[in-house]
Amino acid sequence: DTAVSQTPKYLVTQMGNDKSIKCEQNLGHDTMYWYKQDSKKFLKIMFSYNNKELIINETVPNRFSPKSPDKAHLNLHINSLELGDSAVYFCASSQLVGNTEAFFGQGTRLTVV
Amino acid sequence: KNEVEQSPQNLTAQEGEFITINCSYSVGISALHWLQQHPGGGIVSLFMLSSGKKKHGRLIATINIQEKHSSLHITASHPRDSAVYICAVKNSGSARQLTFGSGTQLTVLP
């Protein structure tokens, strides 16, 4: 069983569309993250949820809205997609307390045309 | 200046060579991760360190907390080790998010 699974793996869409990326973890972790990897392969935190509560919201356009229906799921919804949103988005999970490994999803390559 | 600096940015080695990738950080951390990203994109955690040294097969990771420095070593390198290696520090603040270095692209030639 995949520990952190993201869908879809590839997403090609037109400017102006609204799209969602789903993430689920079956590790029992209490904290989930969305990271963005830009064209230079640099990874940066976007959001973090702990037990369904938002605990990090970096300087991300409010067109990006995370939703956590339960602690095993953290979905990312993006409104009015722009060319600059093209990137690879990674979901990850870990346990907030104690030094536990971070587990990553396989990434979603979003291309906005 | 990034909070996490990695060097070198690119590294090409011959099969069998000993490889070292370095990471320096400037923030308080609870742990440091070494991650591997293969072409095709998935990210795998190789090590998580908060002190000392860890070894897994041909991979060795060390950390010096006082000097805020970590190294990843690969012994007897092999072409299948070719990947991007990323240092990431786990923030010591309340959210424990990861802050990443810019990655080292390693190419091991046969």
pLDDT in tens, B65-81: 999 999 999 999 999 99
Residue B1 pLDDT: 65
- What are the beta bridge partners of residue B92? none
Residue A1 pLDDT: 64
B35 vs B104: CA distance, rounded Å: 10
Give Cβ neighbours of residue A28 (< 8 Å, ≥ 6 apart): none
What are the φ/ψ torsions at residue A66 (nearest 5 degrees)? -80, 150
Window B:5-34, CB contacts with A under 8 Å: 30-31, 33
Instruction: Kindly determine whether residue B43 and residue A31, on different chains, have CB atoms separated by under 8 Å.
Output: no
Mean pLDDT of chain A: 91
Residue B45: HSE in the Cβ half-sphere, 13 Å Cα cutoff = 22
B95 touches chain A (CB under 8 A): yes
Give the residue carrying structure tokens 């991007």: B84
**Residue B96 pLDDT > 80, yes or no?**
no
Residue B23 pLDDT: 97
Give the residue carrying structure tokens 């190419």: B107
Annotate A61-71 with b (16+ C-beta within 10 A) or e (fewer). eeebebebeeb
Mean pLDDT (whole number) for B39-48: 87
A96 vs B71: CA distance, rounded Å: 25
Partner residue opposite A88 with nearest CB, options B41, B44, B86: B41
- CA-to-CA dists, residue B60 to A36, A68, B72, angstroms: 28, 37, 6
- CA-to-CA dists, residue B15 to A71, B35, B52, B103, B105, angstroms: 44, 21, 28, 21, 15
**What value does the CA radius of gyration of chain A take, rounded to a whole number of Å?**
13
Residue B95 pLDDT: 64
pLDDT in tens, A13-45: 999 999 999 999 999 999 999 999 998 889 999
B19 vs B23: CA distance, rounded Å: 14
**Residue A103 pLDDT > 70, yes or no?**
yes
B29 vs B91: CA distance, rounded Å: 5
- Chain A positions contacting chain B at CB under 8 Å are 31, 33, 35, 40-45, 48, 50, 55-56, 88, 90, 92, 94, 96, 99-104, 106-107, 109
Between A95 and B58, the more confident residue is B58
**Residue A95 pLDDT > 90, yes or no?**
no
Task: Check if the beta carbon of residue B59 is closer than 8 Å to that of residue B35.
Answer: no
Confidence of residue A11 (pLDDT cuts 50, 70, 90): very high
Residue B42 pLDDT: 87
Instruction: Kindly determine whether residue A43 and residue B41, on different chains, have CB atoms separated by under 8 Å.
Output: no
pLDDT in tens, B45-69: 999 999 999 999 999 999 999 999 9
Residue A96 pLDDT: 77
Q: Is A51 left (phi over 0), alpha (psi -120 to 50) or beta?
A: left
Structure tokens at B37: 């990203």
